[in-house]
Amino acid sequence: MKHLIDPMDLTKEETDEIISLAEDIIAHRERYQGSMSHRKLATLFYEPSTRTRLSFTSAMMELGGSVLGFSDAKNSSVSKGETVQDTVRVVGCFAEVIAMRHYIEGAQLYASEVSPVPIINAGDGSHSHPTQTLTDLLTIKRELGHIDGITIGFCGDLRFGRTVHSLIKALSRYKDVRVILIAPDSLKLPDYIKHDVCDKSGVQYREVETMEEVMPELDVLYMTRVQKERFLDEEEFDRVKDSFVLDARRMALGKKNMAVLHPLPRVNEILTEVDSDPRAAYFRQVENGKFVREALIVKLHEWKDDPAHPMPEHDRPVFDSSVRCTNPKCICNNEHAPHKFHYTDGGQLRCWYCDSKVR
């Protein structure tokens, strides 16, 4: 059965198929109305959301299907201690597909091991957010006309930003993509993305500390929030906070056809004076999110029992009782998930569920 837990669960061809279908839905909305009638999507949200949950809901309604679920796990039997695996076993009796957001990393992967229906990861902690990635790819394609050959600057929190990690993974499969990483020291991209994703796939990347020095090169500027609580040192936050704010002055340094993306919500990292600039694509990006989720629901339904669309062969899990995942936000430290691991190409041992480095 095809689940979507990580952007790499889709082949490049499957990713492009979903993006093309989303474009067709945009062009011919009437053709798809009713294509999911009598089918149900469950949205299980253990963490707050506006865009992701409501765009899934809107997408399923546009397709003629129905939606059930919870937006706050406190109102479900989770509050009595029900596990994610038991929850999806139960909800899988009521719905044909489940979109789940969880603050625990690896929760959806663990749930997918027993789920009777496809699981879509709607964000797990700081780990992964594959439907945001599909949204971002569709937005880049619609704004620029292509994804191959782009230079994209990621600005802000590149350490904890799950949307950044997922998008870099997905972009690594397109041709001649250049990545520029604009972040303060404490929020730099984790090494495993640089080495296991960029180096392995030949994506060129470089790290800088100011937007000004790279703005004229960018086809896409991908902004994210810099949160004060992510800094160990408050003085460092005060020193760098204004360097990662996009304003009209910095926009003036960019190309005429640059696209500014942001997964949203924003706090103050893009001033509202930028919103009226035609290059500000972040509200168009939100709308693309609904269309790409429609396409994903249709495709997962089509691929569910099709042997031509399997889950990818993950490396065989390694069980080693001498080590444990030390990430307190990992599923294996919160439920009875086994401590199991996988080796990266670089020979590192990483947690099976949350990808934290173990050895």
- Binding site residues, ligand CP, CB under 6 A: 49-52, 123, 132, 263-265
Choose between 128 and 327: whose C-beta lies nearer to ligand CP.
Answer: 128
Choose between 54 and 349: whose C-beta lies nearer to ligand CP.
Answer: 54
Choose between 51 and 142: whose C-beta lies nearer to ligand CP.
Answer: 51
How far apart are CB 163 and ligand CP at their closest, in Å? Answer: 7
The radius of gyration of the chain from alpha carbons, rounded to an integer in Å, stands at 20
Choose between 40 and 101: whose C-beta lies nearer to ligand CP.
Answer: 101
215 neighbors 250 (Cβ within 8 angstroms): yes
- CA angle (253, 255, 259) in 5-degree steps: 110
For helices 282-303 and 51-62, the axis angle rounded to 10 degrees is: 60
How far apart are CB 46 and ligand CP at their closest, in Å? Answer: 12
Closest CA to 248 of 220, 224, 215, 218: 215
- DSSP single-letter state for residue 94: T
Dist CA 224 CA 226 (whole Å): 7
213 neighbors 186 (Cβ within 8 angstroms): no
Name the pairing type of β-strands 220-223 and 151-155: parallel
How far apart are CB 96 and ligand CP at their closest, in Å? Answer: 22
How far apart are CB 156 and ligand CP at their closest, in Å? Answer: 14
How far apart are CB 166 and ligand CP at their closest, in Å? Answer: 11
Choose between 128 and 333: whose C-beta lies nearer to ligand CP.
Answer: 128
112 neighbors 87 (Cβ within 8 angstroms): no
